[in-house]
Amino acid sequence: MNFTFTDSGYTETNKNNPPIIFVHGFFMNNEMFKYQFDELKEKHRVVCINVRGFDALSEKIEPFSLYDIVDDILNVADSLQLDKFILGGMSMGGYISLRFALSHSERLSGLILMATQAEQDPPEIASSYMELCNGWQDPIIKENIINSLLPVFFGNDISEAETWRQVWLGHKPENIIKAMNAMLERDDISERIQIITIPTLIIHGANDMGIPLEKAIQMHKMIAHSKLEVIPDANHALNITHAKEVNTAIKNWLQNNHI
């Protein structure tokens, strides 16, 4: 498997601090962390991974599970000789990050969970997601789907919505279906996350219609060393639309935990 990722590299100002690896959400790619990349790279080496099927250059991919992406992260970290690092994930990237924390906690200095949850999707939501994927092959239906989802992700931020519309239009239907299957077939880890003991930052938008705020509150109650930051007026893609607030939350958490 070929991995595509951006890497800020080590510098004199960041070489003594733990690296941060970011994993993006469904429909997105590693560019969604551009504001975090630019803000954090001075003090931390920042690596942003593309999940299988969401790289603009992706050809046909084989079926995969979220645990395959866990392995991808491990392989990227090993190839860059990152012994311990902070792992951050948004939405689907959070699903993956939680599973990494449960299976490879010894590799992590910290965990950042944005707009995500530990639970599986209820049947009615899963069914609507599959309808979405099945409609992706029809240009008119795809356009309607994108128009309905953009406000969920970006709220009233028209500029970001238009930028990401073009990215979404480029996703191949067969790759979208396989990625959706991986997401919907994920196991239920909601009771297991209580064994996570590493410092964890949970960031959620108050207006997130994609994943309700209650899901973040539940994770906060389950993960002992967690801090919950709720971003007022933020929707699902809060690290893009409310980058300043999210970056401040991350930097304060890093400083307070001496990470």
Question: H helices then E strands: how many in the chain?
Answer: 10, 7
- Amino acid type, 135: G
**SS3 sequence of 174-221:** HHHHHHHHHHHCCCCCCCHHHHCCCCEEEEEECCCCCCCHHHHHHHHH
Please give the full DSSP string across 10-24, using - where no structure is assigned: --TTTTTS--EEEE-
Per-residue pLDDT of the chain (259 residues; tens, 9 = 90+): 556 899 999 999 999 999 999 999 999 999 999 999 999 999 999 999 999 999 866 677 899 999 999 999 999 999 999 999 999 999 999 999 999 999 999 999 999 999 999 999 888 888 888 888 888 889 999 999 999 999 999 999 999 999 999 999 999 999 999 999 999 999 999 999 999 999 999 999 999 999 999 999 999 999 999 999 999 999 999 999 999 999 999 999 999 987 7
> How much is the pTM?
0.96
Q: How far is 104 from 140, CA to CA, in rounded Å?
A: 43
Contact 119, 188 (CB under 8 A): yes
Q: How far is 47 from 33, CA to CA, in rounded Å?
A: 10
Enumerate domains of the chain plus CATH numbers. Answer: 5-120+188-257 (3.40.50.1820)
The three-state secondary structure class of 85 is strand
The separation between CA 175 and the C-alpha centre of its own chain, rounded to angstroms, equals: 18
